[in-house]
Amino acid sequence: MTLHKQYLLPRILIGLLALVMAAFTLPAYMNPISNPGLAELTGPAVSLGSTAGAFLGRQLTLIIIALIGAVVGQRHLVMIGGFAMMFMNGHDAIFMGLMGGPADAAIAGLLFAVIAAIAIVLVWRKPVAE
């Protein structure tokens, strides 16, 4: 009997992206401006009950979705997790680039979006029946 792990490479990619995002998101709950996406905020927008809280909540939700997809490994869950990573990082990169935000964060977001898109493409086709 052989153990065949479905979509191993995309699962690893999505899982790593989610873990890197979690490494930047979880500490930001203590200090929101430590997150590259929130570094430009000042005043009331930095509070967790305002802009920063909405941003971090959205980020954490998408990270959890991506991790569930990576761990469970079902085709559609992996694709949903990949889309979550691609959408979040891609639109953050575009808006940071347009608004003149931190260039390193925008480039990293764009790179993450491309990696997530690659993971989605890798699971797009159904597996061949054995």
Confidence of residue 127 (pLDDT cuts 50, 70, 90): low
Cα gap 35→39, rounded to integer Å: 6
Question: Is the whole-model pTM more than 0.85?
Answer: no
List, for residues 36-64, the tens digit of each pLDDT value.
Answer: 667 777 777 777 778 788 888 888 999 99
Task: Identify the band that residue 65 occupies on the pLDDT scale cut at 50, 70 and 90.
Answer: very high
Q: Identify whether 32 is part of a domain.
A: yes
| 130 domain-assigned | no
35: Cβ contacts below 8 Å, ≥ 6 apart: 24, 25, 27, 28, 55, 56
> What integer pLDDT is reported at residue 126 of this predicted model?
65
Tell me the C-alpha distance between 19 and 15, whole Å: 6
119 alpha carbon, distance to own chain's centre: 12
Q: Which domain holds residue 32?
A: 8-123
Give me the amino acid identity at 1: M
As for how many domains the chain has, the answer is 1
What number is the average pLDDT over the span 9-35? 88
